[in-house]
Each structure stands twice: as structure tokens, then as C-alpha cells.
Amino acid sequence: MNPELTPELLLNAYARGIFPMADDDGEILWFAPDPRAIIDLDSFHVPRNLRQLHRQKKFDMRINTAFERVIDACADRREGTWINNDIRTVYVELHHLGFAHSIESWLDDELVGGLYGVAIGGAFCGESMFHFVSNASKIALVFLVERMRERGFALLDTQFTTEHLKQFNCREIPRNEYLARLTKALRLECSLDG
């Protein structure tokens, strides 16, 4: 039997390198991948076409103005999503407590892409991305990394490696190395807001 999914339980899990996902039956499963995927902030790579798009400022970038719409868009982007109602509810609670954040790409005052994740100390644990307009989620990631660098963050956790993330120099590290980086990051006091 699973314990009740609460913000406290979730924060404790993240601090130990563990995160939840729902299976197709709605059961909450807990994951601690080994190896773990990260993006080094110092070696973050932005492909040339994205650099040009970012410089053009096609998208209006915002933080935390439409968190629930972002998580809903991430849940709706494919069948068999791991974001069920219990997951959604607890992340919305985490958002209200100041731990879960959305990075949003807007175009003509419409939300067209973004991502969300959990920030604890100097770590940002990315959860999911979506886009309705080409490159909108990628520009959100570029914006996130710039913001993390400005604010002194130390760790960008992507959980798993995907083809989408490999272009940004996403790489896998052993779990023990991840936990060492996480421990250092948790000692920092950083904020994406403000």
C-alpha cells in the first residue's frame, strides 16, 4: 500500500534523489534511476538555430503565471501519462508552497510551451515539458538554465536522458555521483522567483 502523497513526502523523496510517477492503473511508483540524467549548467549546449530564435525574443517568457495550465498540458500531451490526479494535486500544492515552478513560453498572449519542476535549495528537478508551437519548450529550457545560472543554482536534474535533451548536452552520471551533487546543491539558498 502506498503512503498518502503529500508535499512533505515529496520533498523528502526529492532530497533523497527519488521521484514519483503514476502507472496506467493510477498506482504511484517511486523511481531512483541509476544512472541519473543531468544537464551541467556549465556545459549546457544551445544549438545554433535555437540561439538565433532565443535572440529574436519570439516568445514572451514567464515564470509561475500559469502553473496548473502547464502541468495539464504536460499531462495531455500523450496517452498513458504518468501525471494522474493525485500527482497533479500534490504538485499544485508544492507550487502554492513555493517549491514547484513553471517556466512558460507565451506567443501573442497564448501559452504555447513550457516545463515544470521542483526547486529545492540549489537543485531544480525537471518533471515534464510540452509545446504547442515548435521550439517553445526548448526555449523554456534555455530560459530556465539562464535563470538558474543567474541565481546560483548548482544542479539541473532531468531524471532520464531523451533524444530531445541530448542536443543540450544532457548526460548520465552514476547515482552515487548524483547524490553527492544533490547534497551540495541542497545546502544552497536559491530562488527562481523575484
Rounded distance between C-alpha atoms, residue 141 and residue 8, angstroms: 27
Tell me: the pLDDT tens digits for 139-174? 999 999 999 999 999 999 999 998 889 999 999 999
* Domain presence at residue 116: yes
Is residue 2 assigned to a domain?
no
DSSP for 52-67 reads HHHHHT-SEEEESSSH
pLDDT tens, position by position, 35-74: 999 999 999 999 999 999 999 999 999 999 999 999 999 9
Peptide bond into 35 cis (omega under 30): yes
Q: Where are the alpha helices (DSSP H) in 77-174?
A: 85-96, 136-150, 163-166
Percent of the chain at pLDDT > 90 equals 87
Pairing of strands 100-107, 60-63: antiparallel
Tally the domains of the chain.
1
Residue 1, pLDDT above cutoff 50? no
Is 1:122 a contact under the CB 8 Å cutoff? no
Q: Confirm if 83 and 128 have CB atoms less than 8 A apart.
A: yes
Q: How far is the first Cα of the chain from the last one, in angstroms, to the nearest whole number?
A: 40
Query: What's the sign of the alpha-carbon dihedral 67, 37, 150, 136?
Result: negative
> Is 140 within a domain?
yes
User: Letter for the amino acid at 1?
Assistant: M
- Tell me if 191 is assigned to some domain: no
Which pLDDT band, with edges at 50, 70 and 90, does 9 fall under? Answer: very high
- Contact between 128 and 102 (Cβ < 8 Å): no
The contacts of residue 83 (CB under 8 Å, 6+ apart) are 22, 71, 74, 75, 128
Q: Which domain holds residue 18?
A: 7-186
Residue 110 pLDDT > 60: yes
Does residue 192 fall inside a structural domain?
no
CATH number at residue 134: 3.40.630.70
Task: Locate 50 and state its grid cell.
Answer: 535555437
Position 141 in a domain: yes
Q: Is residue 112 part of a domain?
A: yes
In a domain, 83, yes or no: yes
Dist CA 94 CA 57 (whole Å): 30
